[in-house]
Structure 1
Amino acid sequence: MMLIGLAFTAQAQDISKNALGLRLGDNDGFGGEISYQRGLSKNNRLELDLGFRNSNNVDAFKLTGIYQWVWNIDGGFNWYAGVGGGLGSWSYDYRANGTQFKDNGTFVFVAGDLGIEYNFKEVPIQLSLDIRPELYFNSDNYRDDNFGPDLALGIRYKF
């Protein structure tokens, strides 16, 4: 047990105090997200992501918070895992074939997170690739199946 604990602490990576950028993926119809990471300790951080959609027929937002553990693989490469959740709101209003469709609602969800990232040494840029499975709890029919895997590419400026 001590050797396993020592292995994980020896692999801890000093992470940046702040990182701000974009997380680009499907995001269950919300598209890209504005992403902010805040380093909490040597190998833990909080990630907050805001996705929004504003179109002719649909307006929506989704706020996600994930607590992450970060481990160094080699050099600037890290892998990370996390848990969290979020909430959102949506509304649509459109007319098709003479019929008006209008609805709105809110939702909450829990999420996991698993990914890999690279921190450049020469420039304060971080690239990441992660998957975030999300389980939705709502009665507003935002999703038909209440489960959404979210695969995304992130690019953030570290400061």
Structure 2
Amino acid sequence: MKIKFLLVLAVVAISFSVQSQDYNNAIGLRAAWGWALTGKHFLNEKNALEAIVNYRSYGAGAYDYSYFSLTGLFQKHYDIASVDGLRWYWGFGARLGSWGGDWDLVDGGDGSFFVGACGNLGLDYKFKNVPINLSADWIPTFNFVGWGDGFTGEGGGFAIRYAF
């Protein structure tokens, strides 16, 4: 029984074709801390650039603030052979932005401009016959200026994009 199971598993694994990304550009929405616009452009089969424009505004008591950021990332993509259309990626980039309002937990509550260096780790899935791309990732950031001056690991999110 074990041999039959392993044989079936081997045939199924071999039957999956290894396929690289089948889109060059994608644009859509990202759900993270607030909503964002996201765009991805592949430079070649493995290398991509992603831009994220994020805005959020909260108005509840001690957390009355607005936040805007621009993030630019360079990414290296690698196929996951066992799942057609799924790739994992890592990358790096930069984030800059500003926030203002009354949030005493960060920078004394006065708001500020911030600049940081980002890492990036995630999964990217492209449906085979539908122009939809999904991704989930983490973007840890070290802020050199503003927004707490230091490491922030809050940058994860999910994206859905139209791929073309």
| Percentage of pairs with the same residue | 37
Asked if 2 retains the 8 angstrom alpha-carbon contact of 1:52 and 1:62, the reply is: yes
Which sections of structure 1, spanning at least 5 residues, go unmatched? 1-10, 95-100
**Counterpart AA for 1:147:** F
Task: Write the distance in 1 (CA, Å) between the matches of 2:19 and 2:73.
Answer: 18
Task: Write the distance in 1 (CA, Å) between the matches of 2:126 and 2:21.
Answer: 11
User: TM-score normalised to the size of structure 2?
Assistant: 0.74
**Counterpart AA for 1:92:** G
User: TM-score normalised to the size of structure 1?
Assistant: 0.76
Match of 2:101 among 88, 92, 96: 92
Partner of 1:46: 49
Task: Write the distance in 2 (CA, Å) between the matches of 1:146 and 1:106.
Answer: 14
Task: Write the distance in 2 (CA, Å) between the matches of 1:132 and 1:32.
Answer: 15
Task: Write the distance in 1 (CA, Å) between the matches of 2:22 and 2:117.
Answer: 25
Which sections of structure 2, spanning at least 5 residues, go unmatched? 1-17
**Counterpart AA for 1:157:** Y
Asked if 2 retains the 8 angstrom alpha-carbon contact of 1:12 and 1:42, the reply is: no
Partner of 2:157: 152
CA RMSD of aligned residues (A): 2.2
Structure 1 runs (4+) deviating above 4 angstroms are: none
**Counterpart AA for 1:48:** A
**Counterpart AA for 2:74:** Y
Match of 2:72 among 59, 65, 72: 65
Q: CA deviation at 1:102?
A: 6.5
Asked if 2 retains the 8 angstrom alpha-carbon contact of 1:77 and 1:118, the reply is: yes
Task: Write the distance in 1 (CA, Å) between the matches of 2:140 and 2:22.
Answer: 24
Task: Write the distance in 1 (CA, Å) between the matches of 2:138 and 2:102.
Answer: 31
Partner of 1:80: 89
Asked if 1 retains the 8 angstrom alpha-carbon contact of 2:71 and 2:94, the reply is: yes
Partner of 2:38: 35
Size of the aligned set, in residue pairs, is 136
Partner of 2:143: 136
Asked if 1 retains the 8 angstrom alpha-carbon contact of 2:19 and 2:85, the reply is: no
Task: Write the distance in 1 (CA, Å) between the matches of 2:85 and 2:109.
Answer: 49
Asked if 1 retains the 8 angstrom alpha-carbon contact of 2:35 and 2:56, the reply is: no
Of Structure 1 and Structure 2, the greater strand share is in 1
**Counterpart AA for 1:39:** F
Q: CA deviation at 1:55?
A: 4.5
* Secondary structure of residue in 2 paired with 1:41: coil
**Counterpart AA for 1:77:** L
